[in-house]
Amino acid sequence: MPSRYWTAFFTILVVFLCSSSDACKAGQSKCRVFDVTRFGAVRGSQDNSQAFLAAWSAACRFKGKATFVVPKGTFKLSPVQFKGPCYDGASPSVKIRGVLQALPGSSDDNYWIKFSDLNRLSVGGGGEIDGQGADSWSGNKCNKECKLSSTTLKFDRVRDSRVARLSLLNSKAFHIKFHRCDNIDVYGLKISAPWNSRNTDGIHIAVTNGITIRSSIIGTGDDCISVGQGSRNVTISNIICGPGHGISVGSLGRYENEMDVVGLVVKNCTIMHTANGLRIKTWPGSSKSRASGLLFEDINMIDVSNPIFIDQKYCPGNDCSSEPSKVQINDVKFRRIKGTSLTKLAVNLLCSSDAPCSNVELDDIRLECSAGGECRTTSSCTNVKANFSGVQIPSPCL
């Protein structure tokens, strides 16, 4: 066959293969789908970690547009790390269309699925990631020192990336953790675990700059979203949170020499049937650090205990320091927070005697008792300089 016919044949073949995937567009000469089943992954009870890693390795090396695909069906998986850097500094697009299930039992790894050292990563596909964590929850009870079970999805040193349109459930510990990441967009997630599943935070952020979390539904046995040390320029919006412990900054000051939290916006969220609403929590006896530039606005509370809570005596166990926290909290704004409180004490600003909170503003707060009738909500202020404006229910603590 003349060479021009071979050229035409391969051109048509490439266009056909590329057009069959949402990652490959007509006219795109270098694109390929790396389906894990082509590398030996099988549906059922078999551990597919080696097949997944082989598919990732090939996709990561590919000199073009690569898509790593988990097709429909249920695939068992032991801990895996998808590591970069990949070809030309980019990353394969990850499409999870089926169900991933963790193998039963605990592991020495602090993650189940980890993405690390990657740029321009996209993880989505509409599939489900099931941590199978029920057997681990009883071991997650801990005070200041503990070793939690594994995080379902961990992102470490990932930049300019997106995580979207996935369901996660029943993680052994945290469902998603971002650590040492930059410029991340997160949306369209559904995260769920029972209300009594200990330390199963929906999303935890630490040492990360520039992350947006939006348009998601999160209900777990711990914080829906927790913003940890070293977090900067975080935006959280349009989240439905509950059950769980609400949306939290912290806990901070658990370890020595923690990095500051600077720049947080939480807006247009609904928090329902949670143990806390909007909370800032720091350990007593902590070393010096700072949490500042925090804005909470347009939040709807439905039957929430402790709707607004600054807790600088956070101690989930009994073995805590008697020394005050040294985490400085300042420039905090609560605006247009409304709804119902399950407790009378709806606003509790419990700050440190060593590092009193400063420039705390509450504007247009409307938090009434869930029970109604004769119940009236109250507020409490300790070691804080607070300013009040607009409607104040409960009455301001002075």
Query: Residues with Cβ < 8 Å from 2, sequence gap 6 or more?
Result: none
What is the pLDDT, as a whole number, of residue 149?
84
**Residue ranges of domains in the chain, CATH in brackets:** 27-195 (2.160.20.10), 223-398 (2.160.20.10)
**What are the structure tokens assigned to 297, written together?**
């606005």
The pairs formed by 393-397 with CB atoms below 8 angstroms and a separation of 24 or more are: 393/365, 393/366, 393/367, 393/368, 394/346, 394/347, 394/365, 394/367, 396/362, 397/347, 397/349
What is the pLDDT, as a whole number, of residue 7?
39
- Contact in structure between 397 and 349 (CB atoms under 8 Å): yes
Q: What radius of gyration do the chain's Cα atoms show?
A: 24
**What are the structure tokens assigned to 263, written together?**
């720049």
What is the pLDDT, as a whole number, of residue 77?
97
What is the pLDDT, as a whole number, of residue 10?
36
What is the pLDDT, as a whole number, of residue 2?
43
What is the pLDDT, as a whole number, of residue 145?
56
Active site residues: 245
Return the closest-CA partner of residue 235 out of 263, 193, 215, 196. Answer: 263
CA atoms within 13 A on the CB side of 251: 21
Backbone angles phi, psi at 90, to 5 degrees: -95, -175
What is the value of pTM for the model shown?
0.91
Query: Residues with Cβ < 8 Å from 302, sequence gap 6 or more?
Result: 242, 270, 271, 272, 273, 339, 340
Report how far apart, in Å, the C-alpha atoms of 18 and of each of 25, 34, 39, 68, 101 are.
6, 12, 19, 14, 29
Below-70 pLDDT ranges, the chain? 1-29, 105-108, 139-147, 372-373
Continuous segment of H or E residues that includes residue 14:
helix 3-19
User: How many residues comprise the chain?
Assistant: 398
Dihedral sign (CA 360, 389, 212, 301): positive
- What confidence tens digit (pLDDT) does each residue in 236-254 have? 999 999 999 999 999 999 9
Beta bridge pairs of residue 299: 269, 337
What is the pLDDT, as a whole number, of residue 1?
40
